[in-house]
Amino acid sequence: MEEHSGNSAIVLLSGGVDSATTAAIARERGFCLHALTFDYGQRHASEVTAARRVAAALGVLEHVVERIDLRVFGGSALTDEIDVPKPGEAARIESGIPITYVPARNTIFLAFGLAFAEARGAHDIFIGVNAIDYSGYPDCRPEFVEAFQRLANVATKAGVSGERFTIQTPLMRMTKGEIIREGVRLGVDFGLTQSCYDPPAEGVACGRCDSCVFRRAGFQQAGLDDPTTYANTF
């Protein structure tokens, strides 16, 4: 594969609201996008299809879908035979780190993103983590991102040669409503995205898992209609 250096960036693209908006922000900032999506054995594998749709709509330069089966470890409702919690309302979302946390997921994803960036001569890696409207995952916090960036710059040939990597987190301090409004401003078609952790059928979201709850609340905050079809509404 030919290297695309200079204004190239890696974008971790899950197919949801946050990653789609992050990719649109990176594009607006003038980067040529190399998107990276993971088929990691998640029960909501339809997000991979959504990521393909989003990548095509954004006109990314390259889209890699990497298969890494995290079901071999389990330990999460997304990768193991554990029911996805469905509180049905934001006030009842469990406190602390929920069972939908996938052990070390963002560490694994960013490690792949770092390898991809170094191979392409890119210095910027975009990830749509958020520390405000999120599910309490420890690998979505600024402390984690800062630590990984330090690692990236001491653990790679490029880093020790003075080519500094930056982990870009443009959504870190935004509410879900703000993220959605920003995506709309940038022309993101949220009808292409998928957020549900436990979709009951193709093209349908459960409406009750915490990811659905945050998505629906975000569209309400933004004063916009959510294009998602939900199996359950409250």
pLDDT tens digits, residue range 133-160? 666 889 999 999 999 999 999 999 999 9
- Are the C-beta atoms of 44 and 15 separated by less than 8 Å? no
Tell me, rounded to whole angstroms, the distance of Cα 62 from its chain centroid: 17
The candidate with the shortest Cα–Cα distance to 128, out of 146, 106, 153, 143, is 106
Instruction: Establish if 3 belongs to a structural domain.
Output: no
Provide the CATH number for the domain around residue 58.
Answer: 3.40.50.620
> How many domains, in total, are found in the chain?
1
- pLDDT digits over 114-126, tens only? 999 999 999 999 9
Name the DSSP letter for residue 156.
S
Which residues span the domain enclosing 16? 8-222
Residue 131: which pLDDT band, with cuts at 50, 70 and 90? Answer: confident
Q: What is the pLDDT of residue 90?
A: 45
Q: What is the pLDDT of residue 106?
A: 97
Residue 161, judged by CB atoms within 10 A of its CB (0-12, 13-18, 19+), counts as exposed
Residue 72: which pLDDT band, with cuts at 50, 70 and 90? Answer: very high
Q: Quick one: residue 192, left, alpha or beta (phi over 0 = left, psi -120 to 50 = alpha)?
A: alpha
pLDDT, the chain, mean: 91
pLDDT at 2 > cutoff 50: no
Instruction: Establish if 130 belongs to a structural domain.
Output: yes
Instruction: Establish if 234 belongs to a structural domain.
Output: no
Instruction: Establish if 1 belongs to a structural domain.
Output: no
Q: What is the pLDDT of residue 175?
A: 95
Integer-rounded Cα Rg, in Å, for the chain is: 17
- pLDDT digits over 179-228, tens only? 999 999 999 999 999 999 999 888 899 999 989 999 999 999 999 999 99
Instruction: Establish if 97 belongs to a structural domain.
Output: yes
Q: What is the distance between the terminal CA atoms of the chain, rounded to a whole angstrom?
A: 49
Instruction: Establish if 114 belongs to a structural domain.
Output: yes
**What share of the chain has pLDDT > 70, as a percent?**
91
pTM: 0.92
Instruction: Establish if 229 belongs to a structural domain.
Output: no
Instruction: Establish if 203 belongs to a structural domain.
Output: yes
